[in-house]
Chains A and B, each alone.
Chain A
Amino acid sequence: MFTSVDDVSARLAETGYLASPAVATTVFLAGRLGKPLLVEGPAGVGKTELAKAVAQMAGARLVRLQCYEGVDESRALYEWNHAKQLLRISAGRDESWDETRTDIFSEEFLLPRPLLTAIRGDEPTVLLIDETDKADIEMEGLLLEVLSDFQITVPELGTVTATRRPFVVLTSNAGRELSEALRRRCLFLHIGFPEEELERRIVGLKVPGLGAALTESVVRVVGALRAMDLRKAPSVAETVDWAHTLLALGADTLDETVVRDSLGVILKHQDDIQKAAAKLDLDAL
């Protein structure tokens, strides 16, 4: 799938994703070993973005299963289109029930959901199972089954087996501890906050108008905030948002007023803002 770690790095960069050495190495290995990739890390460090970038660089379609509390088989695997089945039943009054029955449990009435969609079809596919930790534990059993055999059985239609295994990325914010069994299926990648140099490049790429000096200051302040042990440390997403804001404000250097007025873009909790203001020696807010 990929020829080398450098190749992964370069092609991800072309899509606008700047990979750390850990990210590039692990994505390369996931392709080589043919194993699903479990990406864990705080919100806003680019987990979802990574899966999208991999799909784009590989010229693959992206199929996404967004997990949430209560997501179930009918949302993840497939569902029968009951409304359409009913219509069909009432339309075909003069047929035998057996005929109708075979008919309404056919392809035409099936609503495939992401897992089934990703397994069927011959084109290269990236399957993104996003925020896996939000799903209930029962869902994990289902994922484990699908990720072991890459086949899904629809009792009325038979078993679908992947002719071409998708490249699978699972993400988790560690809201709930995922089971050992699921973890063992996957290669593990933790994405933390980036090194300063990488974060400068990300800001440079996303907000090119900001200028090198201001970009550097922005990254330094964010680094200082992360060292403060706040309730919610700012992530890459907040760094980029802040850079956009500063550009919009027309700031050309950081000063106390600018920082004070825009701190709310980076920090989401009032007590974090107060703590940070005190530590950064900003005058009372």
Chain B
Amino acid sequence: MTAVAERITGLVGALRAHGVRIGTGESVDAARAVEALGLADRERLREGLAATLLHGAGQRAVFDPVFDLYFPRGVGGPDGERAGREALRERLAEALAADDGALLARLAAEAVDGLGGYGSSPGADGWSAYQTLDRLRPQTLLARVRADVRGRDGGGEGFADRLLDDEIRRRIEAFRRMVGTEARRRVAERRGREEIARRGVVPTADRVDFLFAGRDQLAELRRAVQPLARKLATRLAARRRRAARGTVDLRRTLRSSLSTGGVPMRPVLRRRRPVRPELVLLCDVSGSVSGFSDFTMLLVQALHDQFSKIRVFAFVNRLDEVTGLLDHGRADPDGLSARIRAEATLTGWHGSSDYGVALGEFAERYGDAVGPRTTVFVLGDARTNMSDPNLAAVREVARRARRVYWLNPEPRGQWGTGDSAAPDYAGLVEMHECRTARQLGALIARLLPV
């Protein structure tokens, strides 16, 4: 295999490890693309490989950092002497003011080289983006860059001037990402790109653990709600069609076979009445699991026409109905959790979750929300902060409902550790691990009644 072919194979392998499905046909196309484009222009190479290997825009967030490892910008550190912190800040301020992308990339390389190295014994040394940025502190350059830009444009008049601060922040943000890319490249030279591609590249939003998702990833997830809902609606409709075809009604088949001398010629199907199910959500919205709950609430709302009725309840250690608040979530999904916390009574005299009290309150005050057609989903990590889990309340809800499912965003291995009452609840209702949007989608497609 030539070096380039090997490189493509490595890139494809790393992408597959991140869940991007690539067939041999696409790999062949990728090789042809590289041949047609040549290696001289790295950005064209990037686009050509993306065009042949990817099938959706969501995969790009994984592709770019992996590409940067397999087709790196260069080898080793920048030439010349290592720059000191102050000199770097000086030049960074100028580059940010000029919005000079090429210069910013060069400075990112110099910064990692000069400020990002740690350790000296082989195996324990490396390059850290975190350390680089912590020493360089680019965010503190805002005022200086602003003054610089105004100086060169003369004044600071004009309407667009009010946009300047945010623009500079975005440039700084882009620079931080460049530092991340550069540090990964340097580390990969030392430890091998396979390992860094596996561990150092953030997974696509739908594979991020709800419990560890950062703000940006949660925002990205919220944008994924509508497409995911459309996909699920298609799957549910297919299941519903299949279910509506019905099963054979033996008694009626035999009765109608009397006319054919008792030979059952035509099976009579038992028709199902197409009654849309009712859904109740009970959501723990306390800090640790709120990302998971928010996302699930938005998803269920986006699926609202799949149900005859949806009611949503939120709790921390008190429980309140938030069905009405969710309706407005359509206009402003980002503000949903803030609104729920502001407008619903969710906490009593302390701020941590209490499943026992909240579930008891549900069974007592809203028991009539649950009937034989209702499917109940409980969302939460079942961490009771050492208080009584109130299994009786769960038993009562399970007795009234058609089905109760518990979706737990914690890895199964952690159920029952510390203050988790997960095994107790799992003894009464079906509990599923639900750590990522991808898992949630699969569970909903399987568990939702149709």
Partner among A184, A231, A281 whose Cβ is within 8 Å of the Cβ of B55: A184
Question: In chain B between 271 and 286, which residues have their CB closer than 8 angstroms to a CB of chain A?
Answer: none
Q: Pick the most buried of A40, A41, A188: most chain B CB atoms within 10 A of its CB.
A: A188
Known: A21-B43, A21-B44, A229-B219. A32 touches B36 (CB 8 A): yes
Of A70-78, A203-211, A219-227, which binds chain B? A219-227
Q: Is residue B234 contacting chain A, with contact meaning CB distance below 8 A? A: yes
Minimum CB–CB distance from A269 to chain B (whole Å) comes to 9
Q: Name the CB-closest residue of A to B330.
A: A231
Question: Does B199 reach chain A (CB closer than 8 Å)?
Answer: no
Complex CA–CA separation, A135 to B50 (angstroms): 26
B57 in complex: contacting residue of A40, A223, A271, A280, CB < 8 Å? A40
The answer to whether B26 touches A217, judged by C-beta atoms less than 8 angstroms apart, is no
From A5, A271, A280, residue with most partner B Cβ within 10 Å: A5
Q: Can you offer 25 A-B residue contacts whose CB atoms are under 8 A?
A: A21-B47, A25-B44, A26-B48, A26-B51, A28-B37, A29-B36, A29-B37, A29-B52, A35-B29, A40-B56, A175-B230, A177-B230, A187-B51, A188-B50, A221-B159, A221-B160, A221-B163, A223-B167, A227-B166, A227-B170, A229-B334, A253-B159, A254-B158, A256-B159, A280-B162
> Is the CB of B150 closer than 8 A to any CB of chain A?
no
For the complex, what is the distance from the CA of A217 to the CA of B167, rounded to whole Å? 13
CA distance A228 to B32 in the complex (A): 40
Contacts of A152 in B (CB 8 A): none
Interface residues on B, range: 35 or more
**CB-based contact B227/A177 at 8 Å:** yes
Identify A224's interface contact among B51, B54, B163, B219, CB under 8 A. B163
From the candidates B160, B167, B219, B331, name the one contacting A254 in the complex (CB within 8 A).
Answer: B160
Q: Is B304 positioned at the interface, with any CB of A under 8 Å from its CB?
A: no
CB distance from A101 to the nearest CB of B (A): 37
A180 beta carbon closer than 8 Å to chain B: yes
Residue A259 CB within 8 A of the other chain: yes
Residue of A nearest to B331 (CB): A271
- Of all A-B residue pairs in the complex, the 6 with the closest CB atoms, nearest first, are A254-B159, A183-B55, A25-B47, A190-B57, A217-B160, A22-B47
Say yes or no for B151: interface residue by CB 8 A criterion.
no
Give the distance in Å from the alpha carbon of A6 to the alpha carbon of B282 in the complex: 58
Contact B47–A26 (Cβ < 8 Å): yes
A188 touches B51 (CB 8 A): yes
Contact A188 B234 (CB under 8 A): no
**B240 within 8 A of partner (CB):** no
A residues in contact with B51, CB < 8 Å = 25-26, 29, 187-189
B106 close to A (CB within 8 Å) = no
Picked from A5, A216, A255, the residue with its CB within 8 Å of the CB of B44 is A5
New A-B contacts (12) at CB < 8 Å, excluding given A254-B158, A271-B331: A21-B44, A29-B52, A32-B33, A33-B32, A174-B227, A177-B231, A184-B25, A221-B160, A229-B219, A231-B331, A253-B159, A255-B159
**A188 and B55 contact, CB distance less than 8 A:** yes
On chain A, the residues within 8 Å of B166 by CB distance are: 224, 227
Partner of B56, one of A28, A183, A280: A183
Interface core residue of B25, B41, B57 (most chain A CB under 10 Å): B57
Q: How far is the CA of A281 from the CA of B26 in the complex (A)?
A: 49
For residue A110, give the distance in angstroms from its CB to the closest CB of chain B: 34
- Say yes or no for A84: interface residue by CB 8 A criterion: no
Interface presence of A164 (CB below 8 A): no
Chain B hits for A231, CB < 8 A: 331
Q: Determine the chain B residues whose CB is within 8 A of the CB of A189 once the complex forms.
A: 51
List chain A residues, Cβ under 8 A from B160.
Answer: 216-217, 220-221, 254
Residue of B nearest to A27 (CB): B51
Nearest B residue to A195 via CB reads: B101
What residues of chain A lie closer than 8 Å to B332, measured between beta carbons?
Answer: 271
List which B251-278 residues lie within 8 A (CB) of chain A: none
A170 to B371, CA, bound (A): 48
> Complex: how many Å from CA A189 to CA B51?
6
Q: How far is the CA of A217 from the CA of B26 in the complex (A)?
A: 43
